[in-house]
Amino acid sequence: DTLRRLHGRKFSFDFETTGLSYIDDEIVGLAVADEKDSWYIARDGLKAMPELVSLLQDKDATAVAHGSKFEYQFLKTKLGVEPTDLAPVWDTQIMHWLHTSMPGGNDLKSMARKLLGRDVLEFTDVVPDGTLIHDVPLETLGRYAAAGDARNTYDLHTLMLKELRGDGLLSVYTDIEMPVTPVLAEMEMSPIRLDLAQAAKMLEEVTRQANALERAFRYMGYGDGDITPDRIAKYFYEELSLPVVRLTKGEKRGAIDSETLDKIRHLHPQVQLYLEWKKLVSAQEKFLLPIVEANLEWLRFGIKQTSTRTGRLSTTPNMQNWPVKIRSIIIAPEGMEVWARDYNQIEPRIAAFGAQDPAMMAAYRLPSRNADGSLNLDADPYIRLGLDMGFDGQKVLTKDPTTRRVVKAVFLGWMYGAGGFKMQETCAKEGVHLSIAECGQFKRALEEARPQFVQWRVKLVEQARQTGVA
């Protein structure tokens, strides 16, 4: 009866479960709250769970949860309801993250203390370590879940609605973030199948290549010492006298992270060798070895919607850090294929579409192959760019790797409005080393060749200054 009365109204809900795994754990209670009252439904009362599903399908009701992905996933595994088949659930965690743009402090307890000024119980206060949730008195659990979590979630929603309206961000939440949450919930519940045989073969090859590079690195002067950060820093900056571009925190020694070493890799072949070796060791230790050692045929990953300020989704483990080559061990579901593309081809396409620059659009409008089946070189955006930038025509048309790498690196820096110094830094990250004068020359050539894009970019920057929105 309680759930039936909530149709067409605003309510918050929260599951109490035996653990955090939607696969292995069970729902033991349901906390619900409306404007005035809170309820805790448990034991025989859980037979009413189908009524909750009916309520969550009511588009006239306003359902609120905190960290709703958790509830979505238990609804799917325990009640067989796809998250995307339900009416969207308002999520106070994501609303708060959108308001603050901070990855921390979005948990329910912190928000209740900070924003509502309430003393709240932690889960371990109610269910101490070593205690089973079934052993906790129903009255205690109900007070914690209903009068605590469900009530706080309801009241936080009222507050966050006001804040997002004040920020001008409410439509960003309702139109973008809110519909994405159930999709992410379903994605998390769809594990990725891995080709273990190919992973083992790739691990063997990567290990062989890493060992060969390490032998070359030692032969060229490093010697037999361990390859440690402090030892590498001493070798590069003291023994080889390479310039220190950046110091570590505390200014104890020169930094040796990949981004820093990229800027000096052209000064000595040992830096290039070390960076290539480091990349292989990373592929070996971070990606391939854990999969092979664990005999992992299926990989599940979590997706964080409240992570970076840019809104970029991140995963645990971080699937976006997998090198493209390693992604080939993923087995696509039947009738599908793995689509692994870098962002470089996506960004120019978006830029061309946004600016509607004819010279940039041409490459995407033409078919990739000619009538005789041969590749259509005009359908490649970097060929036309290379010719307009004054590179040797033969090298551009034959896709000479070095020339093409320079064209792509310069364009990606220029596209975002980089000056000579910033463009030099962007190119260095791509392994392309140019003088500031060369970068300036390429910039002028591109601005003459792509005037409509330049006008569009200037317009966007000015709009952002005036409106505060990009």
Compute the Cα dihedral for 149, 151, 152, 153 and give only its sign. Answer: positive
* Contact yes or no for 29/42 (Cβ under 8 A): yes
Strands 330-331 and 192-194, bridge-based pairing: antiparallel
DSSP state of 85: G
Q: Which residues contact 261 (CB under 8 A, 6 or more apart)?
A: 236, 271, 274, 275
Judged by phi (left if over 0) then psi (alpha if -120 to 50, else beta), residue 333 lies in beta
Judged by phi (left if over 0) then psi (alpha if -120 to 50, else beta), residue 67 lies in left
| Residues of the chain below pLDDT 50 | none
What is the spatial distance between Cα 138 and Cα 29, in angstroms, rounded to a whole number?
A: 10
Strands 90-91 and 192-194, bridge-based pairing: unpaired
Is the overall model pTM greater than 0.75, yes or no? no
Give the three-state DSSP class for 66. coil
Helix axes 346-355, 358-365, angle to 10 degrees: 120
The encoded tokens of residue 289 equal 């070895």
**N- to C-terminal Cα distance for the chain?**
48
pLDDT at position 311 = 59
Burial class (CB in 10 A: 0-12, 13-18, 19+), 469: exposed
Q: What is the dihedral of CA 223, 228, 233, 234, to 10 degrees?
A: -50
Give the three-state DSSP class for 81. coil
The encoded tokens of residue 138 equal 């129903």
Angle, vertex CA 118, rays to CA 8 and CA 162, nearest 5: 45
Best CA proximity match to 109, nearest among 143, 135, 148, 160 = 148
Burial class (CB in 10 A: 0-12, 13-18, 19+), 437: exposed
Give the three-state DSSP class for 39. strand
Residues listed for the chain: 470
Q: Where are the alpha helices (DSSP H) in 6-85?
A: 49-56, 68-79
What is the spatial distance between Cα 455 and Cα 89, in angstroms, rounded to a whole number?
A: 41
DSSP state of 6: T
What is the spatial distance between Cα 121 and Cα 105, in angstroms, rounded to a whole number?
A: 16
* Contact yes or no for 240/272 (Cβ under 8 A): no
Cα atoms found within 13 Å of the Cα of residue 309, Cβ hemisphere only: 3
What is the spatial distance between Cα 109 and Cα 152, in angstroms, rounded to a whole number?
A: 9
Give the three-state DSSP class for 250. coil
How far is residue 238 from each of residues 267, 341, 423, measured CA to CA in Å? 14, 40, 29
How far is residue 45 from each of residues 2, 3, 78, 290, 383, measured CA to CA in Å? 11, 11, 16, 44, 67
